[in-house]
Amino acid sequence: MLIYLNFILVSGAKSLAGRFYRRIRKFLSMSHIALAALIFSLLWSDAVLSAIPGGEKAQLAPAGQGQGEGAQAPAVNEDHRALLEQVEFPSAQECGGCHIDIYREWSVSRHAYAQTSPTFLAYQATLVKLTNGTLGDFCQRCHSQTGMSSSEAILTSNSKRDTVSKEGVTCIVCHRVAGEYGKISGRLPLESGDIYKPVYGPRPGDELERVLAAQKGRPPKVHKEARHLEQVSESGFCARCHDVRLVNGFRLEDAFSEYKQTPAAKRGESCQDCHMGPVPGIASEYPHAPAAVVRGTPSKPARRTNHMFVGPDSPLVHPGIFPIDPEAQEFATPEQWITFDYKAGWGTEEFEQGITDSAADQSQFTGIWQDQDERFMAREIIDRQLELRAEAHARGTALLRNGYGLGEIEVVESGDALSFKVQVKNLTDGHSVPTGLIAERNVFLQVSVTDQKDQVIFRSGDLDPNGDVRDSHSLYVHNGDMPLDEQLFNLRSPFMVHAAYGGEREQVLPANYSFDPLIFMRPSPTPALLMGGIRDIRLQKRSIEANGYRWANYRVAPEQLSGHGPYKVNVKLVAGQLPPHLIHAISGAGFEYGLSARDIGDRMVELYRVLWERDLVIN
């Protein structure tokens, strides 16, 4: 019958007005499909099924299912379910189409960097290996939420990962979780689905409704709803990831727990107030600005929060790769970007004018960079990226200066020996300084005493050739090439593990690998996924509590004094990122983006920031 109807229509087509015909044709062909489906489902009846050898329904049900509800479901439905359940998350770049400024801020943040980070990846790979895989997805839970949710392979190169999982803590990680979770170490139930799914934000979505209602033409691709989630504006929201708590009670990171005890918390100041406001590290009035621009029309100005979330850390990777920039991604692959020598000045007028057509000059360029126009265009992108990085770095310095204070140098003794002390203060009452990953953060004093002949007679906090302070983890100290810095003042909190006979020792990695704590079995008898590491480990906390201070005491022994006084004392408070000795310890896993341990170590040294400096002349 269907074929017949179709025939009449097709043959009569010429006599009907084209447009009208196509409408009817479309309608009918749709009803064909519906009809066909109906007939098909009728045919697929018990009668037909039983006619097929072995075609009983029960046999089509997935293996292992009994007579319950599931028993009715044919295997093909299982396949469909799997398809429907496929996880899907929109990229920050989709959100950035309207939330332009927020995207720009986020793109340079540590949140955007969380999965790109070569140090994170190498550290994770090292621990996964040392725990024989039992660490599972522990690290991804906070560093790549969408990677965790879609069960992406843990030890995969970033080049093989999904675009969204590479975005680390991307927009929807914070804005598509409906529940009010607190400290759950990052295992968040993200709501999967396309861009139309609702988002959860700091206010009811009436402005979104108004903006969408005003749109003419095709509706924009956007969340259809913006729901209010109170916790988004509370510190408990950050606690989802900023308290790294292991089930064995090991408190790896404590930012939220520290904060809960502080005067700032009592005053009602939140993490957001200090970390998303205009002044880094100090609660201040938020600006009012549009949160989105939809087809050229900005939304009504309202409280705008800064999504840079600046912290002390700066990126290590090539500026073509980070900040996460759609144009940079379009322009070249990460593999291509790392061969673009921006430091040598490629693409700048100055550099390019000095380039001749000679083979010697041209041989430095490979692949797409052989074309000078490409180099000029790449340079524009790089300059913009570097500018954004510089902006974040400057805000990071401002944050640190609002967190650490250095008092005047006070002389204690200036007779046979020389003694002095200096106060290091926590200027914030929001949490301890440093907070967070305190096992890996060097914040130390660099001290020198110089005599009248410009001879340095005393040093502390100076660096070994790797860029480490001279503590027991310095390879140079370890190998006996440099003396231990006995008077070092460093706020880094080491990992302590139990040694074979009761004592404790410092260890670089929180995993079972060292030889002397023999009581541990290797591999661990407990899964690291549950325990988050070895059982018998703790942090020796050295951070300075909220509003607290610490004295650093120095003594220059009589035999060190040259006799050519007066002596000049110089003290610098230096803040760093990961210590180079850690880079060494995780380097066996290799680093992404063509970086060597040496590249990273050098960059760590470059990134030591002198926050404050004091001088004093002692007669």
Residues between 302 and 341 that touch ligand HEC (CB under 6 A): 302-305, 307, 309, 311-313
Report the amino acid identity of residue 399: L
Q: Between residues 299 and 487, which has the closer beta carbon with respect to ligand HEC?
A: 299
* Of the residues 61, 108, 119, 495, which one makes contact with ligand HEC according to CB under 6 A: 119
What is d(CA 310, CA 280) in angstroms, rounded to the nearest whole number? 7
- Residue tagged 């770095």 (tokens): 393
* Of the residues 402, 419, 487, 514, which one makes contact with ligand HEC according to CB under 6 A: 402
Our finding on whether 393 is near ligand HEC (CB under 6 A) is no
Our finding on whether 208 is near ligand HEC (CB under 6 A) is yes
Q: Between residues 106 and 340, which has the closer beta carbon with respect to ligand HEC?
A: 106
- 54 dihedral zone (left: phi>0; alpha: psi -120 to 50; beta): left
Q: Between residues 306 and 446, which has the closer beta carbon with respect to ligand HEC?
A: 306
- The region of 269-277, 359-367, 373-381, 468-476 touching ligand HEC under the rule CB under 6 A is 269-277
**Phi–psi pair at 223, nearest 5 degrees:** -50, 130
What is d(CA 166, CA 145) in angstroms, rounded to the nearest whole number? 10
Q: Are 164 and 195 in contact (CB under 8 A)?
A: no
- The region of 28-36, 202-210, 317-325, 484-492 touching ligand HEC under the rule CB under 6 A is 202-210
3-state DSSP call for residue 244?
strand
Q: How many residues at the interface with ligand HEC, by CB under 6 A?
A: 98
Provide the minimum distance between the beta carbon of 505 and ligand HEC in the complex, in angstroms, as a whole number: 21
- The binding track of 171-190 with respect to ligand HEC, each residue x by CB under 6 A or -, is xxxxx---------xx----
Our finding on whether 424 is near ligand HEC (CB under 6 A) is no
Q: Are 96 and 307 in contact (CB under 8 A)?
A: no
- Residue tagged 């990071």 (tokens): 396
Our finding on whether 604 is near ligand HEC (CB under 6 A) is no
Of 68-97, binders to ligand HEC (CB under 6 A) are: 90, 92, 94-97
Our finding on whether 254 is near ligand HEC (CB under 6 A) is no
Pick from 256, 217, 588, 555: nearest CA to 411? 555
Of 142-171, binders to ligand HEC (CB under 6 A) are: 142-143, 145, 169, 171
Q: Are 438 and 492 in contact (CB under 8 A)?
A: yes
Q: Between residues 182 and 565, which has the closer beta carbon with respect to ligand HEC?
A: 182
- The region of 32-40, 206-214, 445-453, 480-488 touching ligand HEC under the rule CB under 6 A is 206-214
Our finding on whether 433 is near ligand HEC (CB under 6 A) is yes
Q: Between residues 99 and 318, which has the closer beta carbon with respect to ligand HEC?
A: 99
Provide the minimum distance between the beta carbon of 227 and ligand HEC in the complex, in angstroms, as a whole number: 8
* Of the residues 388, 552, 578, 589, which one makes contact with ligand HEC according to CB under 6 A: 578
Pick from 394, 388, 316, 397: nearest CA to 106? 388
- The region of 76-84, 220-228, 345-353, 474-482 touching ligand HEC under the rule CB under 6 A is 220-228
What is d(CA 495, CA 440) in angstroms, rounded to the nearest whole number? 9
As given in the structure block, the two tokens for residue 270 are 């939140």
- The region of 78-86, 273-281, 342-350, 450-458 touching ligand HEC under the rule CB under 6 A is 273-281
What is d(CA 90, CA 415) in angstroms, rounded to the nearest whole number? 69
Report the amino acid identity of residue 480: G
Our finding on whether 226 is near ligand HEC (CB under 6 A) is yes
Q: Between residues 106 and 444, which has the closer beta carbon with respect to ligand HEC?
A: 106
Our finding on whether 491 is near ligand HEC (CB under 6 A) is no
Q: Between residues 236 and 517, which has the closer beta carbon with respect to ligand HEC?
A: 236
Provide the minimum distance between the beta carbon of 304 and ligand HEC in the complex, in angstroms, as a whole number: 4
3-state DSSP call for residue 134?
coil
Pick from 218, 396, 247: nearest CA to 308? 396
What is d(CA 336, CA 158) in angstroms, rounded to the nearest whole number? 14
Of 440-459, binders to ligand HEC (CB under 6 A) are: 441
Our finding on whether 508 is near ligand HEC (CB under 6 A) is no
609: which strand partners? 575
Q: For residue 144, give every residue at least 6 positions away whose Cβ sits within 8 Å of its Cβ, in sequence order, or none.
A: 114, 115, 152, 161, 165, 166, 168
What spatial distance separates the first Cα and last Cα of the chain, rounded to whole Å? 112
Give the helix ranges, DSSP H, for 144-220. Answer: 145-149, 171-175, 206-213
What is d(CA 225, CA 581) in angstroms, rounded to the nearest whole number? 49
Q: Between residues 74 and 193, which has the closer beta carbon with respect to ligand HEC?
A: 193
